[in-house]
C-alpha cells in the first residue's frame, strides 16, 4: 500500500502506474501530512479574514458551504462511480433542519444543530443510497434528478413547519462569548456574526476535507474505487457491493447536510427556490471541471461556483443585459462547461494536469533508461 | 365522483403527451443507450420559437410546422456535434453531456426570451365539452392533442414497420457492427434517430404548452415524468412507453387533484423506485436480464 500512501492529496481516475520514488524529505504518514496541510490552510484563512472586508468574508463563507457539498459529491461520483443529481435536495434537508431548529430551539448551540442536520441528512442519504445502490448510469441519474426536482415540493406541503413558498427566514447564530473574548484579546476588535460564520464555515469545511482526504486513502477509499472500476473483481475480492455503495452515499449525504447547515445561516433563508435543479447540477459542474475524484479539483470547482456568478453578472451588465438575463449567464456557462469538458478534457483540470505531468515524467524516465 | 372523472380525463390527455415524450427517450435509448436529459430543453426552445412566430403574425399551423422542423434539426445537430464523441465512452460522460445541454438551453432561453411567463395560445377551444347537459374536463384542444399524438405514433410505427429506412434504423439499433457490415450507414441512422426524437419531442412540447403559460423550465418536470414512463415500459419498448406515459399521466392527475400538485414529482419518483426495485426490466420486459 505504500504506493497509495505516497500519492499526493489528489487522486484521479488515471491509474498512475509509476509510483513516486519515496524521497527522504517526504512525510511518511498521510494523516499527519493532511493534518499539517489543514492547519496551514486554516492559518491562511485567518490571515485572509483579518485582511478582507465583510463582503469578501461572506463570499468565503459561501465557499465554505460549497466545499463540503462538492467534496462529498466527488467522493460519491468520482471515487465510487455513482452519479447523483440530487445533492441539492440533500443540501435542502440540511438547511431546513438547521432552519427549523434555529427558529424553534434558539437555545441550542449552533454546532449541535449542525451535528443534528448532518445526522438527519445522512439518514435521508441512507434511504436514497439503498435505492441508488441497485441503479447505475442513466437510471441513477434519472432517479436522483427526480429527487432534486421533487423534494423541495415538501416545503410547500408542510407549510406550517417549513414556511411554504416564501421559505424560512433563518436567524444568525450568536457568537459565543468565549470566542468573542478570544477574538477581542488577539485583535482588539469585535467579531461580527458574518465574519464569525466565515471562520466557523472555513474550519468545518477544512475538517471535512481532512476527513475525506484520509477516508479516500483508507481501506474504504480503496473499496469504493474497486467497486467503481470493476464490480466483478471487487465482488470476488470479498467486497459487498451494496454496502460499499450505501456507505459512500451516506458519507456524501452527510457532507451535503453540513453544506446545507452552513448555507442556511450564510444566506439566512431556506426557500424552495434556493434548491432548484440548477443547484444540484452546479455541484456536478464543480466536480466535473475540477476533475472527477480529485479533492483538490473539488476546491477549485467550488471556488468557480462562488466567484463565477458575480463575475458573469458584472460582465453581463457591461454587455447591456438586464439583471435577470445576466443572472442566467452563470448556468449557461455551467452547461457549456459540462459539454466542453466532457468533449475536450474528460479528466477535468486536475486530472488533465496530473496526466500531463505523469506522461512527461514517464517520457523522461523512458529517455533515461535508453541512454 | 365528478372530481375523479375530471382528473381521469385530464390524466389521459397528459398521459398521451407524456407517452409521446417517453417515446423520444426510448427512440434514442434504443439506438445509442443514452438517456437524453436535454430533450425537454430542446422542446422548450422550439416551443418558444413557435411562440415568437405566432406573435409575429405567422399563421398558427405554419408556426407549428416550423417548430417541428426546428426540433428535427436541433436533434440532428445535438447528436452529430455534441453527443457523437461521447457515445462510445463511459456512460457517465454521456449523462453529463446531455445534462449540460439541458442546463445550457434553459439558461439561454431565459436570456433570449426572458424568465417571465408567456401565454402560449391553444390551437382549438379551451372550453370543456358539453355532454348530457354538464361540462366535462375534455376540451376540443385536448382532442387535438390526443389526435396529434396518435397520428405521430402511427407515422412512426409505419416508418419502422414498413419502410426500408425503418428497417435500417432498427438494424443499427439492434447491432451496430452487423448493420455496418451489411452496408447500413449507422452514423446517419443514429443522427436520424435523434432528429426524429427531436421532432417528436418538440411536438410534445407544443402540445403541453398550448393554452398554458410557458417559461424556460416548464419542461423540467415533463422530462422526469417521461423518463419514469419510459423506465416503466422497460426503456426499449414503444408500447411500454405509451402505457407508462398513460400510467404517469393518470397518477399525476390524481395526485395533483387529491393531494397537491407540488407532490407530483415525488409521486413519480416513488413509482420509479417501486418499479426498479420490483421489476427492474420494466413492466414489459422479456426474460432478458439487464442491469439498471
For A238-273, the pLDDT digits (tens) are 999 999 999 999 999 999 999 999 999 999 999 998
User: With a cut of 0.90, is the ipTM above it?
Assistant: no
Per-residue pLDDT tens for B37-63? Answer: 999 999 999 999 999 999 999 999 999
Give B-chain residues touching A138 at CB under 8 angstroms: 29, 34-35, 91, 94-95
Alpha-carbon distance of A111 to A100, in angstroms, equals 14
User: What's the pLDDT band for A156 if we cut at 50, 70, 90?
Assistant: confident
**pLDDT confidence of residue A368:** 62
| pTM listed for this prediction | 0.85
Helix (H, G, I), strand (E, B) or coil at A317: helix
Nearest of B38, B33, B31, B62 to residue B49 by alpha carbon: B62
Closest approach of B138 to chain A, Cα-based (Å): 28
Taken as a whole, chain B contains a residue count of 292
B-chain residue closest to A341, CA distance = B97
| Mean pLDDT value across residues A216-221 | 93
Taken as a whole, chain A contains a residue count of 371
pLDDT at A94 over 90: yes
Alpha-carbon distance of A253 to A239, in angstroms, equals 22
Which stretches of B90-237 are DSSP H helices? 91-113, 140-162, 164-174, 176-181, 186-209, 220-232
Nearest of B11, B289, B283 to residue B138 by alpha carbon: B11
Alpha-carbon distance of A36 to A30, in angstroms, equals 10
Alpha-carbon distance of A311 to B271, in angstroms, equals 42
Helix (H, G, I), strand (E, B) or coil at B144: helix
**pLDDT confidence of residue A4:** 41
Helix (H, G, I), strand (E, B) or coil at A276: coil
Report yes or no: A12 and A355 within 8 Å, Cβ to Cβ: yes
Q: Does A162 touch chain B (CB under 8 A)?
A: no
**pLDDT confidence of residue A369:** 59
Report yes or no: B128 and A352 within 8 Å, Cβ to Cβ: no
Torsion sign (Cα): A75, A76, A78, A79 = positive
pLDDT at A14 over 80: no
Q: What percent of chain A has pLDDT over 70?
A: 91
DSSP string, A147-169: HHHHTTHHHHHTHHHH-TTT-EE
Q: Which residues contact A29 (CB under 8 A, 6 or more apart)?
A: none
Nearest of B187, B177, B288, B158 to residue B235 by alpha carbon: B288
| Mean pLDDT value across residues B192-204 | 94
Average pLDDT over chain B reads: 88
**pLDDT confidence of residue A370:** 55
| Mean pLDDT value across residues B119-128 | 81
Is the CB of A149 less than 8 angstroms away from the CB of B224? yes
Q: Which residues contact A227 (CB under 8 A, 6 or more apart)?
A: A80, A81, A234, A239, A241, A244, A245
pLDDT at A149 over 70: yes
Give B-chain residues touching A151 at CB under 8 angstroms: 266
Report yes or no: A269 and A170 within 8 Å, Cβ to Cβ: yes
Is the CB of A137 less than 8 angstroms away from the CB of B96? no
Q: Does A5 touch chain B (CB under 8 A)?
A: no
Report yes or no: B184 and B171 within 8 Å, Cβ to Cβ: yes
Where are the strands (E) in chain A, listed by range? Answer: 168-169, 269-270
Q: Does A320 touch chain B (CB under 8 A)?
A: no
Report yes or no: B278 and B49 within 8 Å, Cβ to Cβ: no
Closest approach of A188 to chain B, Cα-based (Å): 47
**pLDDT confidence of residue A18:** 43
Give the helix/strand (H/E) hosting B118: strand B118-119
pLDDT at A10 over 70: no
SS (H, E, C) A173-223: CCCCHHHHHHHHHHHCCCCCHHHHHHHHHHHHHHHHHHHHHHHHCCHHHHH
In a mutagenesis test of the A interface, which of B21, B224, B235 is the best target, namely the one with the most A β-carbons within 10 Å?
A: B224
Give A-chain residues touching B108 at CB under 8 angstroms: 328, 332
Instruction: State the distance between the two ends of chain A, measured CA to CA, in whole angstroms.
Output: 31
**pLDDT confidence of residue B261:** 83
Interface of A with B in 263-282 (CB under 8 A): 277-278, 281
Identify any residues that bridge with B130 across adjacent strands, giving them in sequence order: B135
Nearest of A241, A242, A274, A288 to residue A83 by alpha carbon: A288
Q: What percent of chain B has pLDDT over 90?
A: 44
**pLDDT confidence of residue A157:** 87
Is the CB of B95 less than 8 angstroms away from the CB of A141? yes
Helix (H, G, I), strand (E, B) or coil at B131: strand
Give B-chain residues touching A76 at CB under 8 angstroms: none
Q: Does A284 touch chain B (CB under 8 A)?
A: yes
**pLDDT confidence of residue A219:** 93
Give the helix/strand (H/E) hosting A37: helix A30-51
Q: Cα B254 vs. chain centroid, distance in angstroms? A: 21
Give B-chain residues touching A319 at CB under 8 angstroms: none
A77, A81, A328 ranked by CB distance to B110: nearest: A328
Give A-chain residues touching B107 at CB under 8 angstroms: 328-332, 334-335
Give B-chain residues touching A342 at CB under 8 angstroms: 86, 93, 96-97, 100
B-chain residue closest to A338, CA distance = B100
Is the CB of B107 less than 8 angstroms away from the CB of A332? yes
**pLDDT confidence of residue A180:** 87
CA geometry: angle B183, B189, B191, nearest 5 deg: 140
| Mean pLDDT value across residues B233-240 | 84
Is the CB of B276 less than 8 angstroms away from the CB of A131? yes
A-chain residue closest to B37, CA distance = A142
Q: Cα A225 vs. chain centroid, distance in angstroms? A: 18
Alpha-carbon distance of B284 to B279, in angstroms, equals 9
Is the CB of B111 less than 8 angstroms away from the CB of A137? no
Give B-chain residues touching A288 at CB under 8 angstroms: 96
pLDDT at A203 over 70: yes
- Torsion angle defined by CA atoms of residues A168, A174, A179 and A181, in that order, rounded to the nearest 10 degrees: 160
Q: Does A138 touch chain B (CB under 8 A)?
A: yes
Is the CB of A339 less than 8 angstroms away from the CB of B104? yes
DSSP string, B216-243: TTTTHHHHHHHHHHHHHTTSS-HHHHHH
Q: Cα B24 vs. chain centroid, distance in angstroms? A: 5
What are the grid coordinates assigned to B120, written together? 402560449
Is the CB of A146 less than 8 angstroms away from the CB of B228? yes
Is the CB of A150 less than 8 angstroms away from the CB of B85? no
B114, B227, B231 ranked by CB distance to A324: nearest: B114
Alpha-carbon distance of B276 to B292, in angstroms, equals 8
Closest approach of B61 to chain A, Cα-based (Å): 31
Amino acid at each position: 500500500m505504500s504506493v497509495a500512501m505516497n500519492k499526493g492529496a489528489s487522486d484521479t481516475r488515471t491509474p498512475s502506474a509509476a509510483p513516486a520514488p519515496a524521497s527522504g524529505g517526504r512525510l511518511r504518514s498521510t494523516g499527519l501530512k493532511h493534518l499539517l496541510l489543514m492547519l496551514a490552510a486554516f492559518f491562511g484563512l485567518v490571515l485572509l479574514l483579518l485582511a478582507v472586508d465583510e463582503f469578501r468574508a461572506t463570499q468565503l463563507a459561501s465557499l465554505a458551504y460549497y466545499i463540503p457539498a462538492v467534496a462529498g459529491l466527488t467522493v460519491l461520483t468520482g471515487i465510487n462511480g455513482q452519479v447523483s443529481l440530487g445533492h441539492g435536495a440533500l443540501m435542502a434537508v440540511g438547511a431546513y433542519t438547521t432552519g427549523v431548529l434555529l427558529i424553534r430551539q434558539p437555545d441550542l448551540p449552533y454546532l449541535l444543530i449542525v451535528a443534528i442536520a448532518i445526522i438527519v441528512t445522512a439518514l435521508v442519504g441512507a434511504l436514497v443510497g439503498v435505492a441508488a445502490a441497485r441503479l447505475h448510469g442513466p437510471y441513477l441519474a434519472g432517479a436522483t434528478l427526480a429527487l432534486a426536482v421533487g423534494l423541495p415540493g415538501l416545503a410547500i406541503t408542510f407549510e406550517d413547519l417549513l414556511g411554504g413558498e416564501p421559505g424560512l427566514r433563518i436567524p444568525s447564530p450568536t457568537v459565543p462569548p468565549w470566542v468573542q473574548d478570544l477574538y477581542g484579546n488577539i485583535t482588539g476588535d469585535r467579531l461580527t456574526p458574518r465574519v464569525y460564520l466565515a471562520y466557523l464555515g472555513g474550519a468545518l469545511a477544512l475538517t471535512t476535507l481532512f476527513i475525506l482526504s484520509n477516508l479516500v486513502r483508507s481501506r474504504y477509499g480503496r473499496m469504493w474505487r474497486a467497486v467503481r472500476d470493476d464490480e466483478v473483481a471487487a465482488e470476488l475480492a470479498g467486497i459487498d457491493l451494496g454496502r460499499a455503495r450505501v456507505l459512500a452515499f451516506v458519507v456524501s449525504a452527510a457532507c451535503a447536510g453540513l453544506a446545507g447547515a452552513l448555507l442556511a445561516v450564510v444566506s439566512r433563508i431556506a426557500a424552495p427556490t434556493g434548491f432548484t435543479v440548477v443547484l444540484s447540477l452546479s455541484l456536478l459542474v464543480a466536480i466535473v471541471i475540477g476533475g472527477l475524484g480529485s479533492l483538490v479539483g473539488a476546491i477549485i470547482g467550488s471556488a468557480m461556483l462562488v466567484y463565477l456568478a458575480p463575475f458573469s453578472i458584472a460582465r453581463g451588465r457591461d454587455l447591456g443585459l438586464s439583471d435577470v438575463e445576466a443572472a442566467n449567464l452563470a448556468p449557461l456557462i455551467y452547461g457549456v462547461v459540462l459539454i466542453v469538458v466532457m468533449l475536450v478534457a474528460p479528466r477535468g483540470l486536475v486530472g488533465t494536469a496530473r496526466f500531463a505531468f505523469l506522461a512527461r515524467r514517464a517520457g523522461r524516465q523512458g529517455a533515461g533508461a535508453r541512454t | 365522483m365528478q372530481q375523479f372523472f375530471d382528473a381521469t380525463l385530464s390524466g389521459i390527455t397528459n398521459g398521451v403527451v407524456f407517452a409521446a415524450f417517453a417515446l423520444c427517450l426510448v427512440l434514442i435509448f434504443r439506438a445509442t443507450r443514452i438517456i437524453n436529459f436535454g430533450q425537454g430543453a430542446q422542446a422548450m426552445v422550439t416551443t418558444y420559437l413557435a411562440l415568437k412566430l405566432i406573435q409575429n403574425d405567422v399563421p398558427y399551423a405554419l408556426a407549428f410546422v416550423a417548430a417541428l422542423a426546428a426540433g428535427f434539426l436541433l436533434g440532428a445537430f445535438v447528436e452529430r456535434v455534441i453527443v457523437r464523441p461521447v457515445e462510445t465512452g463511459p456512460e457517465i460522460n454521456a449523462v453529463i453531456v446531455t445534462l449540460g445541454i439541458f442546463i445550457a438551453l434553459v439558461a439561454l432561453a431565459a436570456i433570449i426570451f426572458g424568465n417571465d411567463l408567456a401565454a402560449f395560445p391553444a390551437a382549438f377551444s379551451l372550453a370543456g365539452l358539453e355532454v348530457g347537459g354538464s361540462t366535462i374536463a375534455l376540451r376540443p384542444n385536448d382532442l387535438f392533442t390526443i389526435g396529434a399524438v396518435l397520428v405521430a405514433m402511427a407515422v412512426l410505427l409505419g416508418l419502422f414497420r414498413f419502410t426500408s429506412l425503418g428497417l435500417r434504423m432498427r438494424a443499427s439499433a439492434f447491432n451496430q457492427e452487423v448493420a455496418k457490415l451489411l452496408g447500413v450507414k449507422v452514423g446517419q441512422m443514429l443522427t436520424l434517430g435523434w432528429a426524429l426524437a427531436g421532432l417528436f419531442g418538440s411536438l410534445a412540447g407544443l402540445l403541453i404548452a398550448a393554452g398554458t403559460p410557458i417559461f424556460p423550465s416548464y419542461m423540467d418536470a415533463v422530462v422526469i415524468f417521461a423518463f419514469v414512463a419510459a423506465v416503466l415500459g422497460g426503456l426499449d419498448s414503444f408500447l411500454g412507453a405509451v402505457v407508462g406515459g398513460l400510467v404517469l399521466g393518470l397518477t399525476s392527475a390524481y395526485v395533483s387533484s387529491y393531494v397537491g400538485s407540488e407532490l407530483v414529482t415525488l409521486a413519480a419518483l416513488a413509482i420509479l423506485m417501486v418499479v426498479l426495485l420490483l421489476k427492474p426490466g420494466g413492466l414489459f420486459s422479456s426474460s432478458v436480464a439487464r442491469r439498471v
